[in-house]
Structure 1
Amino acid sequence: MAFGVIERARKVFPASELGPTAREDLVALDEATFSFEEGEFVSLLGPSGCGKTTLLRIVAGLISKTAGRVSVAGREVDGPYGDYGFVFQAPGLMPWRSVMDNVLFPMEVLHRSDAKARKRAGELLSLVGLSGFENSRPHQLSGGMQQRVSLCRALIHAPKLLLMDEPFGALDELTRLDMNDLLLEVRRETGAAVLFVTHSISEAVYLADKVLVFSRRPARVACQIEPALGRDRKRHMRYESAFQAAEREASIALGVITEETGALLAKKETLQ
Protein backbone atom coordinates (compact mmCIF):
# COMPACT_ATOMS: atom_id res chain seq x y z
CA MET A 1 0.00 0.00 0.00
CA ALA A 2 1.24 3.49 -0.87
CA PHE A 3 2.51 5.73 1.92
CA GLY A 4 0.23 8.57 0.84
CA VAL A 5 -3.07 8.26 -1.01
CA ILE A 6 -5.12 11.14 -2.41
CA GLU A 7 -8.22 9.77 -4.09
CA ARG A 8 -10.82 11.98 -5.82
CA ALA A 9 -10.09 14.81 -3.38
CA ARG A 10 -12.47 17.74 -3.71
CA LYS A 11 -12.49 21.08 -1.92
CA VAL A 12 -15.24 23.67 -2.22
CA PHE A 13 -15.09 27.00 -0.38
CA PRO A 14 -18.66 28.27 0.21
CA ALA A 15 -19.45 31.75 -1.05
CA SER A 16 -20.38 32.70 2.52
CA GLU A 17 -16.72 32.24 3.53
CA LEU A 18 -15.24 34.18 0.61
CA GLY A 19 -16.36 37.68 1.51
CA PRO A 20 -19.31 39.96 0.78
CA THR A 21 -18.65 40.22 -2.98
CA ALA A 22 -18.63 36.44 -3.62
CA ARG A 23 -21.77 35.21 -5.34
CA GLU A 24 -20.95 31.56 -5.85
CA ASP A 25 -18.94 28.78 -4.25
CA LEU A 26 -15.29 28.35 -5.24
CA VAL A 27 -14.24 24.87 -6.36
CA ALA A 28 -10.50 24.71 -5.60
CA LEU A 29 -9.93 20.97 -6.10
CA ASP A 30 -11.96 18.59 -8.20
CA GLU A 31 -11.28 14.85 -8.00
CA ALA A 32 -7.51 15.19 -7.58
CA THR A 33 -6.02 11.70 -7.46
CA PHE A 34 -2.46 10.44 -6.96
CA SER A 35 -0.33 8.45 -4.53
CA PHE A 36 3.26 8.53 -3.28
CA GLU A 37 5.63 6.15 -1.58
CA GLU A 38 7.64 6.48 1.62
CA GLY A 39 10.76 8.55 0.91
CA GLU A 40 9.50 9.66 -2.51
CA PHE A 41 9.94 13.25 -3.73
CA VAL A 42 6.86 14.57 -5.54
CA SER A 43 6.69 17.99 -7.20
CA LEU A 44 3.26 19.60 -7.55
CA LEU A 45 3.50 21.85 -10.60
CA GLY A 46 0.76 24.10 -11.90
CA PRO A 47 -0.43 27.65 -12.59
CA SER A 48 -0.83 30.15 -9.78
CA GLY A 49 -4.08 29.80 -7.87
CA CYS A 50 -4.92 26.36 -9.24
CA GLY A 51 -5.28 24.70 -5.82
CA LYS A 52 -1.85 23.20 -5.09
CA THR A 53 -1.49 24.94 -1.74
CA THR A 54 -5.05 23.98 -0.83
CA LEU A 55 -4.16 20.34 -1.48
CA LEU A 56 -1.00 20.64 0.63
CA ARG A 57 -3.01 22.04 3.55
CA ILE A 58 -5.54 19.22 3.26
CA VAL A 59 -2.72 16.64 3.41
CA ALA A 60 -1.40 18.43 6.51
CA GLY A 61 -4.85 18.33 8.11
CA LEU A 62 -4.92 22.13 8.38
CA ILE A 63 -8.16 22.37 6.40
CA SER A 64 -10.77 19.72 5.70
CA LYS A 65 -11.61 18.26 2.30
CA THR A 66 -15.17 18.45 0.98
CA ALA A 67 -15.11 14.96 -0.49
CA GLY A 68 -12.74 12.13 -1.40
CA ARG A 69 -10.07 10.30 0.53
CA VAL A 70 -6.71 11.50 1.89
CA SER A 71 -4.53 9.16 3.95
CA VAL A 72 -0.89 9.17 5.07
CA ALA A 73 0.87 6.12 6.50
CA GLY A 74 -2.42 4.23 6.57
CA ARG A 75 -4.19 6.94 8.59
CA GLU A 76 -7.12 8.92 7.22
CA VAL A 77 -6.27 12.62 7.51
CA ASP A 78 -9.11 14.33 9.36
CA GLY A 79 -7.16 16.95 11.32
CA PRO A 80 -3.62 18.07 12.17
CA TYR A 81 -1.17 15.33 13.09
CA GLY A 82 2.40 15.45 14.30
CA ASP A 83 4.35 13.42 11.76
CA TYR A 84 4.95 16.09 9.13
CA GLY A 85 7.03 19.23 8.68
CA PHE A 86 5.79 22.30 6.80
CA VAL A 87 8.00 24.85 5.02
CA PHE A 88 6.31 27.97 3.62
CA GLN A 89 7.53 30.50 1.06
CA ALA A 90 8.27 32.98 3.87
CA PRO A 91 10.59 31.54 6.55
CA GLY A 92 8.28 32.71 9.36
CA LEU A 93 11.04 32.81 11.96
CA MET A 94 10.43 34.47 15.31
CA PRO A 95 12.67 37.56 15.27
CA TRP A 96 13.22 37.64 19.04
CA ARG A 97 14.57 34.09 19.14
CA SER A 98 18.00 32.84 18.14
CA VAL A 99 18.54 30.46 15.24
CA MET A 100 18.87 27.54 17.66
CA ASP A 101 15.73 28.50 19.56
CA ASN A 102 13.76 28.87 16.33
CA VAL A 103 14.78 25.38 15.26
CA LEU A 104 13.88 23.95 18.66
CA PHE A 105 10.44 25.57 18.81
CA PRO A 106 8.50 22.48 17.56
CA MET A 107 10.23 20.38 20.20
CA GLU A 108 9.12 22.83 22.87
CA VAL A 109 5.53 22.44 21.67
CA LEU A 110 5.96 18.65 21.86
CA HIS A 111 7.61 18.95 25.31
CA ARG A 112 10.75 17.26 23.93
CA SER A 113 13.20 20.16 24.00
CA ASP A 114 16.03 18.38 25.81
CA ALA A 115 19.74 17.82 25.27
CA LYS A 116 19.04 15.21 22.60
CA ALA A 117 16.87 17.68 20.67
CA ARG A 118 19.55 20.38 20.94
CA LYS A 119 22.15 17.94 19.64
CA ARG A 120 19.93 17.07 16.67
CA ALA A 121 19.32 20.77 15.97
CA GLY A 122 23.06 21.30 15.88
CA GLU A 123 23.45 18.41 13.43
CA LEU A 124 20.76 19.81 11.14
CA LEU A 125 22.27 23.30 11.21
CA SER A 126 25.63 21.76 10.32
CA LEU A 127 24.02 19.82 7.48
CA VAL A 128 22.64 23.02 5.93
CA GLY A 129 25.89 24.95 6.43
CA LEU A 130 24.86 27.09 9.41
CA SER A 131 27.30 25.94 12.07
CA GLY A 132 28.43 29.01 14.00
CA PHE A 133 25.13 30.83 13.53
CA GLU A 134 23.26 29.13 16.39
CA ASN A 135 23.08 32.34 18.46
CA SER A 136 22.32 34.71 15.57
CA ARG A 137 18.95 36.42 15.17
CA PRO A 138 16.94 36.09 11.92
CA HIS A 139 17.57 39.71 10.87
CA GLN A 140 21.29 38.95 10.81
CA LEU A 141 20.81 36.27 8.13
CA SER A 142 20.26 36.44 4.38
CA GLY A 143 16.99 35.20 2.87
CA GLY A 144 18.56 31.92 1.85
CA MET A 145 20.02 31.38 5.32
CA GLN A 146 16.65 32.10 6.93
CA GLN A 147 15.02 29.49 4.71
CA ARG A 148 17.68 26.97 5.77
CA VAL A 149 16.72 27.63 9.39
CA SER A 150 13.07 27.11 8.45
CA LEU A 151 13.98 23.78 6.85
CA CYS A 152 15.81 22.67 9.99
CA ARG A 153 12.81 23.65 12.11
CA ALA A 154 10.54 21.51 9.91
CA LEU A 155 12.87 18.51 10.26
CA ILE A 156 13.78 18.71 13.95
CA HIS A 157 11.12 16.19 15.06
CA ALA A 158 12.14 13.71 12.31
CA PRO A 159 8.89 13.76 10.31
CA LYS A 160 8.24 11.10 7.69
CA LEU A 161 6.59 13.68 5.42
CA LEU A 162 7.86 17.13 4.48
CA LEU A 163 5.36 19.56 2.92
CA MET A 164 6.90 22.52 1.09
CA ASP A 165 4.91 25.40 -0.38
CA GLU A 166 7.09 27.32 -2.85
CA PRO A 167 9.88 27.58 -0.27
CA PHE A 168 12.44 29.05 -2.69
CA GLY A 169 10.18 31.32 -4.74
CA ALA A 170 11.45 34.54 -3.16
CA LEU A 171 15.16 33.71 -3.57
CA ASP A 172 17.50 34.83 -6.33
CA GLU A 173 18.32 32.23 -8.99
CA LEU A 174 21.79 31.28 -7.74
CA THR A 175 20.60 30.89 -4.15
CA ARG A 176 17.63 28.89 -5.41
CA LEU A 177 19.93 26.46 -7.23
CA ASP A 178 21.99 26.05 -4.06
CA MET A 179 18.83 25.38 -2.04
CA ASN A 180 17.69 22.78 -4.57
CA ASP A 181 20.93 20.85 -4.10
CA LEU A 182 20.76 21.29 -0.33
CA LEU A 183 17.20 19.97 -0.22
CA LEU A 184 18.22 16.85 -2.14
CA GLU A 185 21.05 16.29 0.34
CA VAL A 186 18.70 16.76 3.31
CA ARG A 187 16.20 14.38 1.74
CA ARG A 188 18.92 11.72 1.36
CA GLU A 189 19.99 12.21 4.98
CA THR A 190 16.51 12.13 6.51
CA GLY A 191 14.63 9.75 4.19
CA ALA A 192 11.47 11.87 4.43
CA ALA A 193 8.86 11.85 1.68
CA VAL A 194 8.43 15.32 0.16
CA LEU A 195 5.46 17.07 -1.44
CA PHE A 196 6.88 20.20 -3.05
CA VAL A 197 4.74 22.96 -4.59
CA THR A 198 6.43 25.06 -7.28
CA HIS A 199 5.71 27.15 -10.39
CA SER A 200 9.14 26.42 -11.85
CA ILE A 201 9.21 23.63 -14.45
CA SER A 202 12.98 23.15 -14.23
CA GLU A 203 12.90 23.07 -10.42
CA ALA A 204 10.07 20.52 -10.41
CA VAL A 205 11.94 18.23 -12.82
CA TYR A 206 15.33 18.59 -11.12
CA LEU A 207 14.08 17.74 -7.64
CA ALA A 208 11.39 15.13 -8.11
CA ASP A 209 11.07 11.41 -8.56
CA LYS A 210 7.59 12.23 -9.82
CA VAL A 211 6.18 15.49 -11.22
CA LEU A 212 2.42 15.99 -11.04
CA VAL A 213 1.17 18.68 -13.42
CA PHE A 214 -2.09 20.24 -12.25
CA SER A 215 -4.74 21.83 -14.42
CA ARG A 216 -6.09 25.31 -13.87
CA ARG A 217 -8.60 25.66 -11.03
CA PRO A 218 -10.34 23.51 -10.08
CA ALA A 219 -7.17 21.45 -9.82
CA ARG A 220 -6.93 17.97 -11.24
CA VAL A 221 -3.82 15.94 -12.03
CA ALA A 222 -3.45 16.53 -15.77
CA CYS A 223 -0.18 14.66 -16.25
CA GLN A 224 2.32 12.57 -14.28
CA ILE A 225 5.99 12.62 -15.29
CA GLU A 226 8.81 10.51 -13.89
CA PRO A 227 12.12 12.09 -14.99
CA ALA A 228 14.70 9.48 -16.01
CA LEU A 229 17.46 11.06 -13.93
CA GLY A 230 18.02 8.64 -11.05
CA ARG A 231 18.31 9.71 -7.41
CA ASP A 232 21.80 11.25 -7.61
CA ARG A 233 21.03 14.61 -9.22
CA LYS A 234 23.79 16.95 -10.44
CA ARG A 235 23.43 20.40 -12.00
CA HIS A 236 24.87 19.32 -15.35
CA MET A 237 21.82 17.06 -15.76
CA ARG A 238 19.75 20.17 -16.51
CA TYR A 239 21.40 20.21 -19.95
CA GLU A 240 20.95 16.53 -20.74
CA SER A 241 18.31 15.05 -23.04
CA ALA A 242 16.38 13.20 -20.30
CA PHE A 243 15.93 16.43 -18.35
CA GLN A 244 14.92 18.40 -21.43
CA ALA A 245 12.44 15.69 -22.43
CA ALA A 246 10.74 15.90 -19.02
CA GLU A 247 10.68 19.71 -19.24
CA ARG A 248 9.04 19.51 -22.66
CA GLU A 249 6.40 17.07 -21.44
CA ALA A 250 5.57 19.32 -18.49
CA SER A 251 5.50 22.42 -20.71
CA ILE A 252 3.04 20.75 -23.07
CA ALA A 253 0.82 19.65 -20.16
CA LEU A 254 0.81 23.22 -18.81
CA GLY A 255 0.04 24.71 -22.23
CA VAL A 256 3.32 26.62 -22.36
CA ILE A 257 4.12 25.05 -25.73
CA THR A 258 2.08 22.96 -28.16
CA GLU A 259 2.69 19.31 -28.90
CA GLU A 260 3.89 20.30 -32.37
CA THR A 261 6.46 22.70 -30.92
CA GLY A 262 7.58 20.04 -28.46
CA ALA A 263 8.08 17.55 -31.29
CA LEU A 264 10.13 20.10 -33.26
CA LEU A 265 12.32 20.81 -30.23
CA ALA A 266 12.88 17.10 -29.67
CA LYS A 267 13.84 16.62 -33.32
CA LYS A 268 16.23 19.56 -33.16
CA GLU A 269 17.97 18.05 -30.11
CA THR A 270 18.50 14.70 -31.87
CA LEU A 271 20.17 16.51 -34.79
CA GLN A 272 22.63 18.41 -32.61
Structure 2
Amino acid sequence: MRSGFLKLAASNPSVLADRAAFGVIDKVRMVYPQRAGSPPVVAIDEASFSFRDGEFVSLLGPSGCGKTTLLRIVAGLVDKTAGSVQVGGHEVTGPRRDFGFVFQSLNLLPWRSVLKNVLLPMEISGRCDHAAVRRAEELLDLVGLSGFGKSRPHQLSGGMQQRVALCRALIHKPDLLLMDEPFGALDELTRMEMHDLLLKIRAETKTSVIFVTHSISEAVYLSDQVVIFSKRPARIVEHLDVPLPYPRDVHVRYTPEFTQLERQASEALGVFK
Protein backbone atom coordinates (compact mmCIF):
# COMPACT_ATOMS: atom_id res chain seq x y z
CA MET A 1 0.00 0.00 0.00
CA ARG A 2 1.29 3.44 -0.85
CA SER A 3 2.35 5.78 1.97
CA GLY A 4 -0.22 8.39 0.90
CA PHE A 5 -3.01 5.91 1.58
CA LEU A 6 -1.60 5.09 5.03
CA LYS A 7 -1.37 8.77 5.95
CA LEU A 8 -4.95 9.42 4.80
CA ALA A 9 -6.25 6.37 6.66
CA ALA A 10 -4.63 7.57 9.86
CA SER A 11 -6.15 11.05 9.56
CA ASN A 12 -9.65 9.78 8.73
CA PRO A 13 -10.07 6.03 9.34
CA SER A 14 -13.80 6.15 8.52
CA VAL A 15 -13.10 6.95 4.87
CA LEU A 16 -10.67 4.08 4.48
CA ALA A 17 -12.53 1.45 6.44
CA ASP A 18 -11.84 -0.63 3.33
CA ARG A 19 -8.05 -0.60 3.03
CA ALA A 20 -8.31 -2.11 -0.45
CA ALA A 21 -9.76 1.19 -1.68
CA PHE A 22 -8.73 2.22 -5.18
CA GLY A 23 -10.30 5.67 -4.98
CA VAL A 24 -10.74 7.89 -1.92
CA ILE A 25 -12.74 11.13 -1.88
CA ASP A 26 -12.06 12.67 1.52
CA LYS A 27 -13.91 15.72 2.91
CA VAL A 28 -14.17 17.42 -0.49
CA ARG A 29 -15.71 20.87 -0.29
CA MET A 30 -16.49 23.27 -3.13
CA VAL A 31 -17.38 26.93 -2.57
CA TYR A 32 -17.78 29.37 -5.44
CA PRO A 33 -16.54 32.84 -4.46
CA GLN A 34 -18.67 35.89 -3.86
CA ARG A 35 -19.78 37.80 -6.95
CA ALA A 36 -21.21 41.32 -7.24
CA GLY A 37 -22.22 41.50 -3.60
CA SER A 38 -23.81 38.06 -3.54
CA PRO A 39 -22.71 35.61 -0.84
CA PRO A 40 -20.43 32.67 -1.70
CA VAL A 41 -22.22 29.60 -3.10
CA VAL A 42 -21.54 26.31 -1.34
CA ALA A 43 -21.87 23.65 -4.05
CA ILE A 44 -20.47 20.70 -2.09
CA ASP A 45 -20.41 20.59 1.68
CA GLU A 46 -17.80 17.97 2.65
CA ALA A 47 -18.27 14.78 0.60
CA SER A 48 -16.40 11.57 1.50
CA PHE A 49 -16.57 8.04 0.06
CA SER A 50 -14.25 5.35 -1.24
CA PHE A 51 -14.45 2.60 -3.86
CA ARG A 52 -12.55 -0.51 -4.85
CA ASP A 53 -10.77 -1.22 -8.10
CA GLY A 54 -13.34 -2.35 -10.69
CA GLU A 55 -16.32 -1.09 -8.69
CA PHE A 56 -19.26 0.76 -10.25
CA VAL A 57 -20.32 3.77 -8.18
CA SER A 58 -23.32 5.97 -8.97
CA LEU A 59 -23.69 9.50 -7.62
CA LEU A 60 -27.45 9.93 -7.22
CA GLY A 61 -29.26 13.13 -6.37
CA PRO A 62 -31.61 15.85 -7.62
CA SER A 63 -30.63 18.04 -10.54
CA GLY A 64 -28.32 20.90 -9.60
CA CYS A 65 -27.19 19.38 -6.31
CA GLY A 66 -23.46 19.30 -7.13
CA LYS A 67 -22.99 15.76 -8.50
CA THR A 68 -21.42 16.96 -11.75
CA THR A 69 -19.19 19.39 -9.87
CA LEU A 70 -17.88 16.52 -7.74
CA LEU A 71 -17.35 14.36 -10.82
CA ARG A 72 -15.32 17.12 -12.44
CA ILE A 73 -13.27 17.51 -9.28
CA VAL A 74 -12.50 13.77 -9.33
CA ALA A 75 -11.64 14.10 -13.03
CA GLY A 76 -9.15 16.85 -12.23
CA LEU A 77 -11.04 19.38 -14.35
CA VAL A 78 -12.10 21.61 -11.45
CA ASP A 79 -10.05 22.73 -8.43
CA LYS A 80 -11.75 21.91 -5.13
CA THR A 81 -11.87 24.37 -2.24
CA ALA A 82 -10.82 21.79 0.34
CA GLY A 83 -10.35 18.06 0.82
CA SER A 84 -8.49 15.31 -0.97
CA VAL A 85 -9.06 13.06 -3.99
CA GLN A 86 -6.80 10.05 -4.46
CA VAL A 87 -7.06 7.45 -7.22
CA GLY A 88 -4.66 4.55 -7.40
CA GLY A 89 -2.65 5.96 -4.52
CA HIS A 90 -1.99 9.32 -6.18
CA GLU A 91 -3.56 12.68 -5.45
CA VAL A 92 -5.62 14.01 -8.37
CA THR A 93 -4.24 17.46 -9.19
CA GLY A 94 -5.35 17.74 -12.83
CA PRO A 95 -6.59 15.69 -15.81
CA ARG A 96 -4.98 12.26 -16.03
CA ARG A 97 -4.29 9.99 -18.98
CA ASP A 98 -5.52 6.96 -17.05
CA PHE A 99 -9.05 8.43 -16.85
CA GLY A 100 -11.78 8.23 -19.48
CA PHE A 101 -14.68 10.68 -19.81
CA VAL A 102 -18.23 10.49 -21.15
CA PHE A 103 -20.20 13.67 -20.48
CA GLN A 104 -23.70 14.82 -21.39
CA SER A 105 -22.49 16.55 -24.55
CA LEU A 106 -20.90 13.86 -26.70
CA ASN A 107 -18.73 16.30 -28.69
CA LEU A 108 -18.20 13.92 -31.60
CA LEU A 109 -16.38 15.69 -34.42
CA PRO A 110 -18.82 15.78 -37.36
CA TRP A 111 -16.12 15.85 -40.07
CA ARG A 112 -14.41 12.72 -38.78
CA SER A 113 -15.54 9.15 -39.32
CA VAL A 114 -16.71 6.98 -36.44
CA LEU A 115 -13.37 5.16 -36.37
CA LYS A 116 -11.37 8.39 -36.37
CA ASN A 117 -13.55 9.83 -33.60
CA VAL A 118 -12.76 6.79 -31.47
CA LEU A 119 -9.05 7.12 -32.24
CA LEU A 120 -8.86 10.83 -31.36
CA PRO A 121 -7.41 10.35 -27.83
CA MET A 122 -4.69 8.10 -29.24
CA GLU A 123 -3.81 10.71 -31.87
CA ILE A 124 -3.57 13.42 -29.22
CA SER A 125 -1.23 11.28 -27.11
CA GLY A 126 0.88 10.28 -30.16
CA ARG A 127 -0.02 6.59 -29.88
CA CYS A 128 -2.23 6.10 -32.94
CA ASP A 129 -0.52 3.00 -34.29
CA HIS A 130 -1.80 -0.28 -35.76
CA ALA A 131 -2.49 -1.63 -32.26
CA ALA A 132 -4.68 1.40 -31.52
CA VAL A 133 -6.65 0.87 -34.73
CA ARG A 134 -7.20 -2.79 -33.81
CA ARG A 135 -8.32 -1.76 -30.34
CA ALA A 136 -10.79 0.75 -31.82
CA GLU A 137 -12.19 -1.85 -34.19
CA GLU A 138 -12.56 -4.34 -31.33
CA LEU A 139 -14.44 -1.79 -29.24
CA LEU A 140 -16.77 -0.91 -32.11
CA ASP A 141 -17.45 -4.61 -32.56
CA LEU A 142 -18.12 -4.97 -28.83
CA VAL A 143 -20.80 -2.24 -28.93
CA GLY A 144 -22.38 -3.54 -32.16
CA LEU A 145 -20.95 -0.92 -34.54
CA SER A 146 -18.42 -2.98 -36.48
CA GLY A 147 -19.94 -1.97 -39.82
CA PHE A 148 -20.03 1.77 -39.10
CA GLY A 149 -16.35 2.72 -38.88
CA LYS A 150 -16.48 4.88 -42.01
CA SER A 151 -19.82 6.54 -41.16
CA ARG A 152 -20.10 10.12 -39.93
CA PRO A 153 -21.81 10.92 -36.60
CA HIS A 154 -24.83 12.55 -38.27
CA GLN A 155 -25.60 9.25 -39.97
CA LEU A 156 -26.09 7.51 -36.61
CA SER A 157 -28.96 7.45 -34.13
CA GLY A 158 -28.55 9.00 -30.69
CA GLY A 159 -27.91 5.62 -29.11
CA MET A 160 -25.30 4.75 -31.72
CA GLN A 161 -23.55 8.10 -31.18
CA GLN A 162 -23.48 7.34 -27.46
CA ARG A 163 -21.76 4.03 -28.21
CA VAL A 164 -19.12 5.84 -30.25
CA ALA A 165 -18.47 8.24 -27.35
CA LEU A 166 -18.14 5.26 -25.00
CA CYS A 167 -15.62 3.59 -27.31
CA ARG A 168 -13.62 6.83 -27.51
CA ALA A 169 -13.52 7.02 -23.70
CA LEU A 170 -12.25 3.43 -23.48
CA ILE A 171 -9.74 3.41 -26.34
CA HIS A 172 -6.73 4.09 -24.09
CA LYS A 173 -7.76 1.45 -21.50
CA PRO A 174 -8.49 3.86 -18.62
CA ASP A 175 -8.33 2.76 -15.00
CA LEU A 176 -11.30 4.98 -14.16
CA LEU A 177 -14.27 5.88 -16.38
CA LEU A 178 -16.21 9.02 -15.40
CA MET A 179 -19.73 9.42 -16.82
CA ASP A 180 -22.02 12.43 -16.38
CA GLU A 181 -25.66 11.51 -17.08
CA PRO A 182 -24.64 10.05 -20.45
CA PHE A 183 -28.02 8.49 -21.23
CA GLY A 184 -30.27 11.36 -20.17
CA ALA A 185 -31.22 12.37 -23.72
CA LEU A 186 -32.12 8.85 -24.86
CA ASP A 187 -35.59 7.31 -25.01
CA GLU A 188 -36.37 4.78 -22.29
CA LEU A 189 -35.91 1.66 -24.43
CA THR A 190 -32.56 2.83 -25.84
CA ARG A 191 -31.51 3.86 -22.35
CA MET A 192 -32.17 0.36 -21.01
CA GLU A 193 -30.21 -1.13 -23.89
CA MET A 194 -27.30 1.16 -23.04
CA HIS A 195 -27.45 0.02 -19.42
CA ASP A 196 -26.95 -3.58 -20.47
CA LEU A 197 -24.20 -2.60 -22.90
CA LEU A 198 -22.37 -0.62 -20.23
CA LEU A 199 -22.51 -3.56 -17.81
CA LYS A 200 -21.20 -5.84 -20.57
CA ILE A 201 -18.29 -3.48 -21.29
CA ARG A 202 -17.54 -3.08 -17.61
CA ALA A 203 -17.40 -6.89 -17.25
CA GLU A 204 -15.04 -7.12 -20.24
CA THR A 205 -12.69 -4.28 -19.30
CA LYS A 206 -12.82 -4.43 -15.45
CA THR A 207 -12.74 -0.61 -15.45
CA SER A 208 -13.82 1.30 -12.36
CA VAL A 209 -16.77 3.62 -13.06
CA ILE A 210 -18.18 6.74 -11.39
CA PHE A 211 -21.58 7.50 -12.91
CA VAL A 212 -23.71 10.60 -12.27
CA THR A 213 -27.50 10.24 -12.52
CA HIS A 214 -30.75 11.52 -11.04
CA SER A 215 -32.58 8.29 -11.97
CA ILE A 216 -33.10 5.98 -9.00
CA SER A 217 -33.73 2.86 -11.09
CA GLU A 218 -30.69 3.55 -13.28
CA ALA A 219 -28.43 3.91 -10.25
CA VAL A 220 -29.68 0.70 -8.62
CA TYR A 221 -29.52 -1.34 -11.83
CA LEU A 222 -25.96 -0.39 -12.73
CA SER A 223 -24.16 -0.02 -9.44
CA ASP A 224 -22.26 -1.84 -6.74
CA GLN A 225 -22.58 1.27 -4.58
CA VAL A 226 -24.91 4.27 -4.76
CA VAL A 227 -23.78 7.50 -3.08
CA ILE A 228 -26.90 9.58 -2.44
CA PHE A 229 -26.77 13.38 -2.22
CA SER A 230 -29.08 15.98 -0.74
CA LYS A 231 -30.16 19.14 -2.50
CA ARG A 232 -27.54 21.88 -2.81
CA PRO A 233 -25.30 22.33 -0.98
CA ALA A 234 -24.52 18.68 -1.68
CA ARG A 235 -24.17 16.49 1.36
CA ILE A 236 -23.97 12.70 1.26
CA VAL A 237 -27.09 11.44 3.03
CA GLU A 238 -26.59 7.71 2.45
CA HIS A 239 -24.23 5.09 1.02
CA LEU A 240 -26.35 2.30 -0.47
CA ASP A 241 -24.69 -1.04 -1.20
CA VAL A 242 -26.33 -2.97 -4.06
CA PRO A 243 -25.84 -6.72 -3.49
CA LEU A 244 -27.71 -7.79 -6.64
CA PRO A 245 -25.62 -10.44 -8.43
CA TYR A 246 -24.06 -10.02 -11.87
CA PRO A 247 -24.75 -10.48 -14.70
CA ARG A 248 -27.92 -8.42 -14.45
CA ASP A 249 -30.73 -8.31 -16.97
CA VAL A 250 -34.22 -6.87 -17.30
CA HIS A 251 -35.71 -9.50 -14.97
CA VAL A 252 -33.85 -8.13 -11.94
CA ARG A 253 -35.79 -4.86 -12.27
CA TYR A 254 -38.98 -6.66 -11.19
CA THR A 255 -37.66 -8.50 -8.16
CA PRO A 256 -38.57 -7.60 -4.57
CA GLU A 257 -34.88 -6.97 -3.84
CA PHE A 258 -34.66 -4.35 -6.61
CA THR A 259 -37.87 -2.67 -5.48
CA GLN A 260 -36.62 -2.53 -1.89
CA LEU A 261 -33.35 -0.88 -2.97
CA GLU A 262 -35.31 1.67 -5.01
CA ARG A 263 -37.43 2.42 -1.95
CA GLN A 264 -34.36 2.86 0.26
CA ALA A 265 -32.87 5.31 -2.23
CA SER A 266 -36.20 7.14 -2.51
CA GLU A 267 -36.41 7.48 1.27
CA ALA A 268 -32.87 8.88 1.40
CA LEU A 269 -33.83 11.44 -1.25
CA GLY A 270 -36.92 12.44 0.72
CA VAL A 271 -39.46 11.03 -1.75
CA PHE A 272 -41.09 9.14 1.14
CA LYS A 273 -41.58 11.04 4.38
TM-score, normalization: structure 2? 0.91
Report the alpha carbon displacement of residue 25 of structure 1 after superposing the two structures with TM: 1.1
The 3-state SS of whatever aligns with 1:70 is strand
How do 1:168-183 and structure 2 match up within 5 A?
168-183=183-198
Q: 163, 168, 187: which is aligned to 2:178?
A: 163
1:191 aligns with 2:206: yes
Report the alpha carbon displacement of residue 234 of structure 1 after superposing the two structures with TM.
Answer: 1.2
Equivalent position of 2:135 in the other structure: 120
Structure 1 residue aligned with 2:31, among 12, 37, 41?
12
Does 2:247 align with 1:232? yes
* Structure 2: distance between partners of 1:257 and 1:92: 38
Q: Which moved more, 1:147-156 or 1:75-84?
A: 75-84
Q: Cα distance, 1:79 vs. partner? A: 1.2
Do structure 1's residue 217 and structure 2's residue 232 form an aligned pair? yes
Residue 98 of structure 2 corresponds to 83
Partner AA of 1:15 in structure 2: Q
Cα deviation code 1:40-94 (max 9, x no counterpart): 0001100001000000000010011100111100001111111110101122100
Percent identity over paired residues? 65
1:110 aligns with 2:125: yes
Match of 2:165 in 1: 150
Distance (Å, rounded) in 1 between the aligned partners of 2:41 and 2:201: 37
What's the secondary structure of 2:178's corresponding residue?
A: strand
Counterpart pick for 2:272 among 257, 261, 268: 257
SS at match of 1:97: coil
Query: Could you tell me how far apart the structure 2 residues matched to 1:8 and 1:75 are?
Result: 16
Q: Deviations over 1:151-182 (max 9, x none)?
A: 00000000010000000000000000000000
- After superposition, the C-alpha distances for 1:205-234 in whole angstroms (9 at most, x for unaligned) are 000000111011111110111122112111
Moved over 4 A (4+): none
- Whole-angstrom distance in 2 between the partners of 1:205 and 1:195: 13
Letter in 2 for 1:8: K
The answer for the alignment partner of 1:270 in structure 2 is none
Q: CA RMSD in A?
A: 0.9
Q: For residue 258 of structure 2, what is the amino acid of its counterpart?
A: F
Which piece of structure 1 moves more, 136-145 or 228-237? Answer: 228-237
1:92 maps to 107
2-side partners of 1:216 and 1:182: how far apart?
Answer: 30
Q: Find the aligned partners of 1:117 and 1:26 in 2 and give their Cα distance.
A: 44
Report the Cα distance in structure 2 between the residues aligned to 1:58 and 1:83, rounded to whole angstroms: 15
1:233 partner SS: coil
Report the equivalent of 2:49: 34
Query: 2:8 maps to which residue?
Result: none
Cα distance per residue 1:235-256 (max 9 Å; x no partner) = 1100101101100000000111
Distance 1:83 1:54 in 2: 20
Report the residue type matching 1:246 in the other structure.
L
Secondary structure at the aligned position of 1:35 is classed as strand
Give the length in aligned residue pairs: 254
Give the secondary structure class of the aligned counterpart of 1:162: strand
Q: What code does the residue aligned with 1:3 have?
A: F
How far apart, CA to CA, are the structure 2 residues paired with 1:113 and 1:132? 21
The answer for unaligned runs of 5 or more in structure 1 is 259-272
Separation (CA, whole Å) in 2 of partners of 1:193 and 1:220: 23
SS of structure 1 residue aligned to 2:185? coil
Residue 136 (structure 1) aligned with residue 177 (structure 2): no
Distance 2:107 2:186 in 1: 15
